[in-house]
Chains A and B, each alone.
Chain A
Amino acid sequence: MPFTYRTRSALPIERSSVWIAGVGAVSGAGPDVASTLDAFWNARRSPASTLPFESSIACPTFQVAAELATLPPAVNRCRSLRLAMKAVREAMAEAQIREFSGDERVGVCIGTTVASQLNSIPFYDAYRREGNPPLDAVYDYLHANLAQGVAELLGVRGPRMTIVNACSSGTDAIGVAANWIRAGMCDVAVAGGADELNRVALAGFWSLGVMSSRPCAPFDRERDGLNLGEGAGIVVLESASHAKRRNKKHGMELAGFGAACDGHHLTAPHPEGRGLDAAIRTALSQAGVTPNQIAFINVHGTATTENDRAEGKVIARIFDSGISLAATKGYTGHTLGAAGGLEAVFTVLGLRKGWIPAGVGFENQAEDIAVAPVRQRTAIGGEFALSTSLAFGGNNSAVVIRRIG
């Protein structure tokens, strides 16, 4: 049955606007939004050839070199939380929110992968050898729940959720936070994703045979795998009524969100992108827009053979083949749980600035993909843009962002 896009007046939910009051980003592309934009403008990427930990695996990664603020001792060793807080503070500054008062209804929804696992190799090695290792790593892990950590550092008591949907976690977190605001469960939500580089994740993706030993090439004919990265991408969402109460007008709206699972395979995407197709159509429908109203898509684009092929098929099926694609993992690497948060921020930046960056790493059109990232920095017009995520476990999600005025 052909999919029918609903108009705004026929939306299935009681829809109140969810504004994007501020964005923050830290990644291998730059320690903040301004430096990220500079890297994008100049098509400059900076993969590191050495790892921040010992490993026999040699591959490029995208690392955050910037100094991160010191957090209270109990949580200061959690790098993912420190990355998250850097982006949170930047997003709050843009939203002109210095601190939250205890009276405000503020939710926190953060996606991650690494911070959700007790994957300290030194701790486990000592446990195996001595049976009685120091428990510092365990205490660190117990303090590393990102939503709880961010909520406690901000002193807020609204709904909180740490989403561990692998590589779609950040996008899902933004969608859930938007659900909360639309339901009236909170007035403001801090949402996105954060993840640090970690030896276990590196070994894991290497074992799956999906990593490249050279800087990645999303959607390219010669693509041969992903590069890992680290970072955080955060948006501050705000209900229209709360923004009005504090006399703020924002230029961006979180207009639609969709999520759907493949129900197909533990690690591989459905070959026809079944779940992604449904997620995109749901997001478009919730936003009340048709595919031809989308100015550009910030694609998931991991540069793995299977992911890019499935994603490309879906995009070619739903959109015109000339749709502009921003493939930003060439700048950041695959930041796992942070990716959806970062790419939502990049989507906001694309709409705000009126251009999207060149897809670094992309050179040749792939035979098995009918669409392609832009080769040069490209001006875009239009009101709406889309960001997509695919993940382990067959999770797929998409957000539609709208530029106002």
Chain B
Amino acid sequence: MKSEIGDLLAPASILGVGAVTPLGRDLQGIGKQLGRSAAATAAHLRVSDEFLSDPAIGGRMRRADRFARMAAVAALDSWAGASDACASVAKDRVGLIVTSGFGPHCRGFRFLDGILDCGDSSALPTDFSHSVHGAAAAYITELLELRGPSLSTTDFEIGFEQAVLLAQCWLDQRACDRVLVGAVEEIGEVLIHCASRMLGGEKIFVPGEGAVFLTLGPMDGEGLARLEATAPPPQVDLMMLDVPANPSPATDQPTIAARHTTTFSPYFGHSASSSAFQLLGGFLSLSAGRPLGRLVQKASPAELGAVDKVATFKPSCDLRAASLLMTKA
């Protein structure tokens, strides 16, 4: 029997976590809100601008848009959280992987505004340079003075899983000593318009935005949790599903055995990088020692116990290594 992709690589150690979400930027605060019931009544879930102003990025990102800012604050928070574990690491040994489905499309439409309003030869160069996917990564490398490999990737389905897998690969091959890996999604007027029409006006999928970044290192020291991209694991304590905002137990039930099944979609919304946000909820559940989010399937009292092993799962995806498995350190 052939090995699954994820089985070939050592798990990575999560050394730092940073996020900016519709629930805020402070992980403790986000965790508290994930412990409460949520009703996804909003048409879309946006990140408040108040979470994106930070003296650390101030003037150096004066031309940047919300997409790049969301990525930058989450990356900086993740790196700051891992500061002890990264203090002695040379910056040319730190890799960066930023993934997004739709990228900085709002800035892209601003550039198109320039073309339509002023003509092809008179649109603003700043809008063009910020409309490319790699703009966020460029800011992060500049702010953190990173000198290792930097990759921006795009996928509408498994971008974050594949980014984690590559980070594991880089760490395994000692191409890097640390990898900052993250996902960022922005919602704008056009995307909301398209989503509402393409989904037939049903409110079960609520577009959301934000950024989640993890600082990963090899499994050779203390960490907050261990993480690996893998084939769907056979048994976990908590399964996180990217399901409609008002799920029913019959919706997309996985074939994996889990004591609890939950979803964080009602809190963070849906996006091409949903699994990054599901993983954030899973990480906060590990920290809390109990399942957070909106429980789709609850364990019976006899099955209750600590939550030590969580996984994301995409029922629609049959690719190998399309799950993220996180276990308590």
* Stretch from A86-94, A182-190, A312-320, A341-349 at the B interface: A182-190
Interface of A is mostly: mixed
Q: Point out the residues of chain B lying under 8 angstroms from A203, CB to CB.
A: 111, 115, 120-121, 123, 128
* Docked pose: A12 CA to B103 CA in angstroms: 34
Contact partner of B115 among A118, A121, A159, A397, CB < 8 A? A121
Docked-complex contact A161 and B162, CB < 8 angstroms: yes
B169's partner among A56, A142, A147, A180 (CB-CB below 8 A) is: A180
- 1/0 per position for B1-29, CB-CB distance to A under 8 A? 01101001100000000000000000000
Q: How far is the CA of A57 from the CA of B118 in the complex (A)?
A: 13
Q: For residue B321, which residues in chain A have a CB less than 8 angstroms away from its CB?
A: 159
Interfacial residues of chain B within 97-125, with CB under 8 A of chain A in the complex: 102-103, 105, 108-109, 111-116, 119-125
Residue A176 interfacial (CB < 8 Å): yes
Question: How many residues on chain B are close to A (CB under 8 Å)?
Answer: 72
State A120–B157 Cα separation when bound (angstroms).
Answer: 22
B154 interface residue (CB < 8 Å to A): yes
Interface positions, chain B 165-220, Cβ under 8 Å from A, are 165-166, 169-170, 172-175, 190, 193-194, 197-198
Stretch at the interface among A28-36, A238-246, A295-303, A386-394: A386-394
Q: Are A164 and B173 in contact (CB under 8 A)?
A: no
- Chain A residues with CB under 8 Å of B114's CB are 207
Q: How many residues of A contact B (CB 8 A)?
A: 74
The residue from B9, B91, B108, B320 contacting A119, defined by CB atoms under 8 A apart: B108
* Contact indicator B102/A118 (Cβ below 8 Å): yes
Q: Is B146 an interface residue when CB atoms closer than 8 A count as contact?
A: yes
Q: Does chain A have a CB within 8 A of B92? A: yes
A230 interfacial contact with B, CB 8 Å: no
Interface residues of A in 153-199 (CB under 8 A from B): 157-166, 172, 176, 179-180, 182-186, 199
List the B side residues contacting A275 at CB < 8 Å.
Answer: 147
Q: With A183-B173, A208-B128 as given contacts, are A266 and B135 in contact (CB-CB < 8 Å)?
A: yes
Judged by a CB distance under 8 angstroms, whether B133 is at the interface is yes
Kindly state the separation between the CA atoms of A56 and B165 in the bound complex, as whole angstroms: 45
CB-nearest residue of chain A relative to B161? A159
A266 B193 Cβ-Cβ under 8 A:
no
Separation of A22 and B170 alpha carbons in the complex (Å):
26
- The residue among B9, B111, B138 with the most chain A CB atoms within 10 A of its own CB is B138
In angstroms, how far is the closest chain B Cβ from the Cβ of A316? 21
Q: A118-B105, A203-B115 are in contact. List 4 more A-B contacts (CB 8 A).
A: A199-B115, A206-B121, A207-B123, A260-B147
Considering the complex of A and B, which 7 residue pairs feature the smallest CB-CB distances, nearest first? A393-B138, A204-B128, A164-B133, A259-B149, A393-B134, A261-B150, A207-B125
What is B's interface to A at a CB cutoff of 8 Å?
Answer: 2-3, 5, 8-9, 91-92, 96, 102-103, 105, 108-109, 111-116, 119-125, 128-135, 137-139, 141-142, 144-158, 162, 165-166, 169-170, 172-175, 190, 193-194, 197-198, 318-321
> What would be 8 A-B contacts, judged by CB atoms less than 8 Å apart?
A127-B193, A135-B197, A138-B198, A162-B153, A199-B115, A203-B128, A208-B125, A263-B91
